[in-house]
A and B are shown apart, each in its own frame.
Chain A
Amino acid sequence: MSRLTFNRFADSLILVVAILAVWVGLHAYAGDSAISAPATTFAFAGRLLVQPSFWTHVAATMEAFALAFAISAAGGVALGLVLGVRRFAGDVAEPILGSLYTIPKVTLYPLMLLVFGLGMSAKVAFGVIHGVIPIMLFTIAAVRNIPPVLLRTARALRLAPVKTATSVLVPAAMPEVVTGLRVGFALTLLGVLIGEMFASQRGLGFLIINGINNHDVRMTTAVTLLVVIFAVAANSLLLAFDRRVHHG
């Protein structure tokens, strides 16, 4: 057992070392004008983390992200449940949703700005259009894969629709829905950051695009690093939870 844990640990270590090696190689090849070296970046990121002004940007991003993810999750799961249960409506909707998922949503950004204006609501809307569709698609699939006998049991027990949803549909569909929420989490974050890059004067996306425009490579690399660490850490937590609900 401990040998297995040790092997896992060694594997992760190899992976981290490999990523750092690629980073060093890129820096050696492209120079300081494209990417800052790992040590410099970590030092700069460390300094950022103790600056209060940096945390106001973090707070702006987190506020928009929390709102966008709450809307995506609630809307995506609710609509997904309805479309999953109503088979005909689901069959009609699924390819449409699939196509919407394929559209490069960046191209919709001028439209979003024209409709929502600069600022918070545009960021949130951008996050929602990225996140809500995968959550819907996963939820539809989750409901359809529920064994029919469970639904027949609910009917035999004459459960009210709301009661059926809370005590049969949701628990049975839970594992797949959690997977959908994990994917939606990452994409909502992506959407909010893109929104901030274009439509905002605050937030981490703004810091990145500002760094690009001012050729402040250290800032761009450091903020990118922090965003990636946050995204990967959150994803790992959700992945662990995901695996637990799938096997639990």
Chain B
Amino acid sequence: MNHGRRILWTRVAFIAGLVGLLEALCRLHVIKPLTMIAPSQMVQELIALAWSGELAEPALQTFIEVGASFLFSVTVGGALGAVVHALPRVRRTLDPLLASWYAVPFFVFYPLLVALLGLNVLPLIAIGVVFATPAMMLSTLAGLDRVPRVMHKVARVHRLSQLQEVRLITLPSAAPHLFTGLKLSFAYSFIGIIAGEFILSGGGLGYGISYAYESFETPKMYALMLFVLLIALVANGVLHVWDRRLARRRGLA
């Protein structure tokens, strides 16, 4: 525990040092103000933006899109993973597709999705789903593969019903991998959607950044970039802590 705390504080100090260095470089104009504003100014700018209410609308749009994409990919990806796991032939057929899924640069399909779904939030959610679902599917497959065979035998010995087996045996054994799937689904939904907003000019935080950049509003641009960074950090931190807690519980059980 003590060791863990030492790691945490070193990490905090390291990040604080980097931010401090950046602050100094910007304040001393080693980095030109046109290139980058100091971190403290980014924070001020972000607070001003939030206070004026300008932040609320794009942030809300992005949150709704990411939430929709995340929920959809987790449920559909999980379900598809379970179905494909039960059908080895289908799995073998899909294997090359899944293995090279993330080698395909998907952002090139944005214009196609706009043509299919119209110029609204749907293509943005769709790109998040396309990006995130296979990750959940692959994690589900990996999780189900790692349920020890002896556990299924235990279930049969105890005459568990199908539902009980899933609840008491399959889910707990596959949990670490499913959790990785959740983490990846969130990350990929977030990345896909922000990138989509950026490229398609579809509103939301990504569009806000590209608009601020094109109209030379450098401070606003950095404030929004900081906000996106903070969301990613907070979400990651929460999932990291939750993962640790689950791992500890497994250790105790």
Contacts and interface: CB of A to CB of B under 8 A. Distances in A.
Interface of A: 8, 11-12, 14-15, 19, 26, 29-31, 33-35, 88, 91-93, 95-96, 98-99, 101-111, 114-115, 183, 185-187, 189-190, 193-194, 197, 208, 212, 220, 224, 227-228, 231-232, 234-236, 239
Contacts of A106: 191, 194-195, 198-199, 206
B112 A193 contact: no
A234 B104 CA distance: 11
A235 B14 contact: no
A234 B229 CA distance: 32
Contacts of B122: none
B115 A103 contact: no
A34 B111 contact: yes
Given A14-B93, A189-B103, 4 more contacts: A15-B97, A107-B198, A108-B225, A114-B35
Interface stretch (B135-143, B163-171, B233-241): B233-241
Interface in B210-253: 210, 213, 221, 224-225, 228-229, 232-233, 235-237, 240
B99 A98 contact: no
A15 B102 contact: no
B64 interface: no
Contacts of A15: 93-94, 96-97
Contact-residue size bin, chain B (C-beta under 8 Å from the other chain): 35 or more
B36 A111 contact: yes
Contacts of B237: 95, 99
B108 A232 contact: no
A33 B115 CA distance: 8
B187 interface: yes
Q: Which of B96, B108, B115, B190 has the most CB of A within 10 A?
A: B108
9 contacts: A19-B97, A26-B112, A92-B7, A92-B11, A98-B236, A104-B198, A114-B36, A194-B105, A232-B103
B92 interface: yes
Q: Which of A19, A104, A115 has the most CB of B within 10 A?
A: A104
B62 to A, nearest CB: 10
B242 to A, nearest CB: 13
B11 A96 contact: yes
B93 A231 contact: no
Interface of B: 7, 10-11, 14-15, 34-36, 89, 92-94, 96-97, 99-100, 102-105, 107-109, 111-112, 114-116, 186-187, 190-191, 194-195, 198-199, 206, 209-210, 213, 221, 224-225, 228-229, 232-233, 235-237, 240
A104 B191 contact: yes
A34 B14 contact: no
Contacts of B232: 99, 102-104
Contact of A102 (B10, B36, B108, B191): B191
B80 to A, nearest CB: 15
B93 A30 contact: no
A12 B107 contact: no
A202 B100 CA distance: 26
Nearest to B110: A212
Nearest to B93: A11
Contacts of A228: 104-105
Given A15-B94, A110-B221, A103 B229 contact: yes
A107 B99 contact: no
A33 B112 CA distance: 9
B190 A104 contact: yes
Contacts of A197: 107, 199
A34 B100 contact: no
Contact of B7 (A11, A88, A104, A115): A88
Nearest to B214: A110
A11 B195 contact: no
A116 to B, nearest CB: 11
A235 B116 contact: no
Contacts of B100: 231-232, 235-236, 239
